[in-house]
A and B are shown apart, each in its own frame.
Chain A
Amino acid sequence: VRRTLFCLPVLLLSAVLASAAPKVGIVAPAGPVEPYKLVELIPDGDVTGAVLFWDVDREDVADVREYGGKLVFTGPPGTYRIKLRIVRIGPDGKTLSGETQRATVVIGTPTPPAPPVPPVPPVPPPNPAPIPADGFRVLVVYETADLAKMPPAQQQILFSGPVRSYLNSVCVADPDGKTKAWKIWDKDTDTSAVDRTWQDAMKRPRASMPWVIISNHPKGGYEGPLPASTDEFMALVKKCGGG
């Protein structure tokens, strides 16, 4: 590829002298070229006495050679835009005439432009553990009088054997030494006789009912509406580090 400082004078003079120059085209492959095959481009017309400047737009990836007035190149699959400038010296040996021809060569199957990469959402910092006592603890709060209206799939969270077994396996021991640190309590339960940890957990504000607090202090936790099914509940427990 020839990078030349002649470009500017060529452009300036071509407008003045173009009418006197014979037209030249480019013979180029009509369709896509098989990858790794050489591409040859030939001036189509009389270029006797003319100076030819070939230019390939993707010179950073293409391997280009010029010889005998031809351009030969190869490169990775893609679309290449070729420019040929023909400059002639007038009979007086002083004036210049020039013209520019363009061609497009496709190597291989054109690759569609890569879709924009969606921005990666920032990773939110883990919610602070709602219960400031080390270990994994779960508190489900509900209203007994609403049980009959609660969807059966959600009600199962409160009573399911597999859920209870799982919580037994992931929660720390309660101070009573007999049970694991998960509770399923009516919102009006009198907690004055239990460990302060549970009293404070029951005092936390709740925006709706039923409600769940999952605390994995000091790593983080969750507090919010009780999920709609045991599958969703278990997924939430695991997401918070339970198992």
Chain B
Amino acid sequence: MLRPGELVINDSTPTDLYMEPLVGGERKSHGCVPRNWRTHPAGCYASAPLTAIDMPLIPRSEWSARLRDKVATKSLLSDIRLTGNNEQIIPSLDQDGKGFCWAHSSTSAIMMLRAVANLPYVGLSAYAIACIIKSYRDEGGWGAESMDFVTQRGVPSEAFWPMQSMSRSNDKPETWANAALHKVTEGWVDMASAQYDRNLTFDQVGTLLLCNIPVVVDFSWWSHSVCAIDLVEISSGSFGLRILNSWGDGWSDHGMGVLEGNRAIPDGSVAPRVTVAAAA
């Protein structure tokens, strides 16, 4: 079920709505570069021991009924996002013109996992991840890169590394002590490229979302990495992904939109499962 005002991106959607769109007068950017699967195959990241989802797939025949129940009981990750900040919405992140979508998608996923666990809302700074990995250069990357970093070092709160700051002065021991409070602790799932079996890829992502596990999804056609939060039945038997973008709450419906059809098949996807429980 679509939400009011929600942008659905499919093959017929005007590109100016999702390719470097103007949102609030600002030109939004992307930053996802295709993962080099030869040099970085699934399983190459030591912090991701799981190269395929280690849970059974929920068959598509069950998806409609499960989704109806989740909508009726407000059990979707998007529902949890709407109240996960002390009964207020968890704001979407804003990469602010830099090519750091690939760090924001992972950071959004960590924030969603915290909301599911009923840990307090803490604004996390994706810039810290991107600045350290790319040595403060505005460069593209892919979701698995940032997730691997979050597993090893975590991501600091905006109190220690302000959002959208590229100042080297943020890089202090106390920043990374705080970042460790927001680590991914249980092996994240590094799913293989969709090149050979696109249905399997989508079924894996769908299963994770039905279990309220957010999935970082990279799209080569979009040069963009976002956080998938819901499986959506757009029409009978036709499913898409509700994503949480990193273009601020001004884009689409509070920063959330839906990808449909070919646009919803990720070229790379990773899923964090457990984070540290920390209040700060």
* A residues adjacent to B (C-beta < 8 A): 144-149, 152, 155-156, 158-162, 164-165, 168, 174-176, 178-180, 182-186, 188-195, 198, 230
Closest 5 CB pairs of A and B: A161-B74, A147-B211, A176-B279, A178-B120, A193-B278
Q: Which of B95-116 contact A (CB under 8 A)?
A: 116
Asked whether A159 lies within 8 Å of B276 as measured between CB atoms, the reply is no
User: B212 — which chain A residues lie within 8 A by C-beta?
Assistant: 147, 158-159
Q: 7 A-B contacts, Cβ less than 8 Å apart?
A: A158-B116, A159-B70, A159-B76, A185-B117, A188-B185, A193-B276, A193-B277
| Residues of B within 8 A of A (CB-CB), count | 41
Asked whether A190 lies within 8 Å of B74 as measured between CB atoms, the reply is no
Asked whether A160 lies within 8 Å of B73 as measured between CB atoms, the reply is yes
Asked whether B277 lies within 8 Å of A198 as measured between CB atoms, the reply is yes
The secondary-structure label for the interface of chain B is loop
Distance of B232 from chain A, by nearest CB (Å): 16
Write the B69-91 contact mask toward A (1 if CB under 8 angstroms, else 0).
11001111001100100110000
> Which of A164, A165, A192, A230 has the largest count of B CB atoms less than 10 A from its CB?
A164
Q: Is B273 an interface residue (CB 8 A)?
A: yes
User: B73 — which chain A residues lie within 8 A by C-beta?
Assistant: 156, 159-162, 230
Asked whether A184 lies within 8 Å of B55 as measured between CB atoms, the reply is no
Q: Is B119 an interface residue (CB 8 A)?
A: yes
- Docked CA distance A192–B180 (Å): 11
The one of A175, A178, A190 that contacts B121, using a Cβ cutoff of 8 Å = A178
Q: Is B11 an interface residue (CB 8 A)?
A: no
User: A155 — which chain B residues lie within 8 A by C-beta?
Assistant: 211
Q: Is B133 an interface residue (CB 8 A)?
A: no
Distance of B124 from chain A, by nearest CB (Å): 15
- Docked CA distance A146–B210 (Å): 12
The one of B70, B121, B277, B280 that contacts A191, using a Cβ cutoff of 8 Å = B277
Asked whether B279 lies within 8 Å of A156 as measured between CB atoms, the reply is no
Instruction: Considering the complex, give the chain A residue whose CB is closest to the CB of B87.
Output: A168
User: B120 — which chain A residues lie within 8 A by C-beta?
Assistant: 174, 176, 178-179
Asked whether B74 lies within 8 Å of A162 as measured between CB atoms, the reply is yes
- Docked CA distance A68–B116 (Å): 93
Distance of B75 from chain A, by nearest CB (Å): 4
Given known contacts A144-B213, A149-B55, A193-B278, what 11 new A-B pairs fall within 8 Å (CB)? A152-B65, A161-B75, A178-B120, A178-B121, A184-B116, A189-B276, A190-B277, A192-B276, A193-B277, A193-B280, A194-B278
- Docked CA distance A194–B183 (Å): 14
The one of B57, B83, B119 that contacts A148, using a Cβ cutoff of 8 Å = B57
Distance of A174 from chain B, by nearest CB (Å): 7
The one of A160, A179, A186, A193 that contacts B118, using a Cβ cutoff of 8 Å = A179
Distance of A183 from chain B, by nearest CB (Å): 5
Write the B37-57 contact mask toward A (1 if CB under 8 angstroms, else 0).
000000000000000001111
- Docked CA distance A184–B117 (Å): 5
Q: Is B174 an interface residue (CB 8 A)?
A: no
- Docked CA distance A55–B18 (Å): 105
Q: Is B58 an interface residue (CB 8 A)?
A: yes
- Docked CA distance A162–B280 (Å): 26
Asked whether B279 lies within 8 Å of A195 as measured between CB atoms, the reply is yes
Asked whether A152 lies within 8 Å of B69 as measured between CB atoms, the reply is yes
User: B117 — which chain A residues lie within 8 A by C-beta?
Assistant: 183-185, 189
User: B79 — which chain A residues lie within 8 A by C-beta?
Assistant: 159, 161
- Docked CA distance A183–B118 (Å): 6
Asked whether B75 lies within 8 Å of A148 as measured between CB atoms, the reply is no
The one of B54, B58, B76, B185 that contacts A189, using a Cβ cutoff of 8 Å = B185
Q: Is B274 an interface residue (CB 8 A)?
A: yes
- Given A159-B80, A160-B73, does the pair A144, B57 have CB atoms closer than 8 Å? no
Distance of B158 from chain A, by nearest CB (Å): 15
Q: Is B181 an interface residue (CB 8 A)?
A: yes
Asked whether B274 lies within 8 Å of A156 as measured between CB atoms, the reply is no
Asked whether B75 lies within 8 Å of A156 as measured between CB atoms, the reply is yes
User: A158 — which chain B residues lie within 8 A by C-beta?
Assistant: 116, 212
- Docked CA distance A183–B75 (Å): 16
Distance of A150 from chain B, by nearest CB (Å): 8
User: B273 — which chain A residues lie within 8 A by C-beta?
Assistant: 144-145, 186
Distance of B268 from chain A, by nearest CB (Å): 21
Asked whether B274 lies within 8 Å of A186 as measured between CB atoms, the reply is yes
Q: Which of B229-274 contact A (CB under 8 A)?
A: 273-274
Asked whether B75 lies within 8 Å of A179 as measured between CB atoms, the reply is no
User: B75 — which chain A residues lie within 8 A by C-beta?
Assistant: 156, 159-161
